[in-house]
Structure 1
Amino acid sequence: MGQWDVFLSPYKQAVDELKVKLKGIRSQFGIVNANSPIEFVTGRVKPLASIYDKSLEKGVPFEPSDKLAEELQDIAGLRIMCQFVDDISAVTELIRQRNDMKIIEEKDYITHSKPSGYRSHHMIVEYPVETLRGKKIVIAEIQIRTLAMNFWASIEHSLNYKYKGVFPEEIKNRLQSAAEAAFRLDEEMSLIRSEIQDAQTYFSEYKEDLAVLTNNPEKEREK
């Protein structure tokens, strides 16, 4: 196993464990028939090419080291998607209450969006993993955002690579307008939140009833 494999192994373990735990929060809401503020969870370990780019940006040697681990706080990355803006604060509070990770920094790009229009809530956490060499504290970044924010951020990320961070003025302006439009969409959806959730509950129950009818037609006729 190479040096990078050894270095990144705890990060991969942390991402896998945190994904299970964060998805577990969503499942617990379902068990008590409550609406979960978490829509879905994704996670990844930053690819070596991205680590290399970030190390150049930070002026850190591109080599497995404690210095690199300290400077690059998003090598392990989790992303939590929410349906509504208000869900973001609910999720952050759930994470703050946990004892299995320690929050060392928060960045609120919801209240204070970046000049580009980017919105998200970032939490930098220390998370312990058990390895063959003992306990290892891994720094991970958890991003919490709505589906609309995530769509915008994914597009902006792709364009950022194409233009190397220097956008043509027209693209830059359109991205900022799109970010505002996405946020207005989130605000409008929040105003009819109860109607949306009632409809989703009704649809879920309908699908369950349909599954029962489809799988047990004889049983249904006996009623």
Structure 2
Amino acid sequence: METHTQEEVSQWVSLITYYKFALDEMDTKLTILNEEFQHVHDHNPIEHLKSRVKSMESIQRKLERKGLEVTAEHAEQHIHDIAGVRVTCSFESDIYKLVNILCNQDDVHVQEVKDYIQHPKSNGYKSLHLIVQVPVFLSTEKKLMNVEIQIRTVAMDFWASLEHKIYYKFDKTVPKHLTDELKEAADLANYLDKKMEGIRTKMDKYKESAPLLDELFEHGENSE
């Protein structure tokens, strides 16, 4: 890793601080949306929320892999996942509700969408990835900063975590029988998501019809 002047280090520190502010902004937005859902719909779409800002060393290694000069300016221009949020939802339908609401906020500017739920990767990976820009208000200016958001269900997240550990353990050279089992596990995770979604739909329909059934039952008792 090459050395940097004091001015360059200051630029890096400032840049990473701006991304930290952007992450704070996004965390707040998601927390508010989750609490609003609980208040209005009696349901929390978000099970877990995890955020991180890449270290300066990690960003610099990624620039080197891309064959780019290692500068803070190039990092801001070419590395879009410096600030990242991983959102784990209860149900697949919650993912799309959350994305729709979030992207309709007038200070969230969508830069890129990759839907690996509708179009999974060949290994079975499923998740919805967004690159958005959010404003960071500083004492002297407003900056638009990129934040990557990955949204997935609990089953998708469990699978992705296992897949990451296996590829790390085997240094990305995973035996075929394990990749086959991972793909099978991805299919099972997808089946579980669909099954749970179906149960939830039936439960919601029951909750909608229950007050009407109670009313009809009470009316029948009163008419006797």
Same-fold call, TM cutoff 0.5: yes
Equivalent residue, structure 2, for 1:70? 77
Of the two, which has the highest radius of gyration?
A: 2
**CA shift in 2, pair 1:30/1:187, >3 Å:** same
Distance 1:155 1:62 in 2: 32
Equivalent residue, structure 2, for 1:19? 27
Distance 1:54 1:160 in 2: 19
- Shift of the alpha carbon at 1:106? 0.4
Residue pair 2:123, 2:182 contacting (<8 A) in 1 also: yes
RMSD: 2.1
Out of 152, 155, 158, which is 2:162 matched to? 155
Report the TM-score when normalising by structure 2. Answer: 0.80
- Shift of the alpha carbon at 1:13? 0.8
Amino acid at match of 1:78: V
Distance 2:62 2:166 in 1: 17
Q: How many residues align?
A: 197
Distance 1:75 1:157 in 2: 19
Report the TM-score when normalising by structure 1. Answer: 0.80
Residue pair 2:87, 2:152 contacting (<8 A) in 1 also: yes
Equivalent residue, structure 2, for 1:98? 105
Distance 2:64 2:76 in 1: 14
Question: SS where residue 144 of structure 2 aligns?
Answer: strand
| 1:53-72 deviation line (CA, Å, top 9, x unaligned) | 4323322233322x222221
**CA shift in 2, pair 1:69/1:89, >3 Å:** same
Amino acid at match of 1:18: M
Question: SS where residue 42 of structure 1 aligns?
Answer: strand
Identity %: 38
Equivalent residue, structure 2, for 1:8? 16
**CA shift in 2, pair 1:153/1:72, >3 Å:** same
| 1:79-123 deviation line (CA, Å, top 9, x unaligned) | 211111111111111112111210011000001111121100011
Question: SS where residue 32 of structure 2 aligns?
Answer: helix
Distance 2:51 2:204 in 1: 26
Equivalent residue, structure 2, for 1:30? 38
Equivalent residue, structure 2, for 1:58? 66
Structure 2: gaps of 5 or more residues: 1-8, 206-224
Range that drifts further, 163-172 or 136-145: 163-172
Out of 105, 112, 124, which is 2:119 matched to? 112
Structure 1: gaps of 5 or more residues: 199-223
| 1:118-159 deviation line (CA, Å, top 9, x unaligned) | 100011101110124411111111111101111111222233
- Shift of the alpha carbon at 1:50? 3.2
**CA shift in 2, pair 1:106/1:139, >3 Å:** same
**CA shift in 2, pair 1:165/1:79, >3 Å:** same
Distance 2:123 2:64 in 1: 22
Residue pair 2:16, 2:56 contacting (<8 A) in 1 also: no
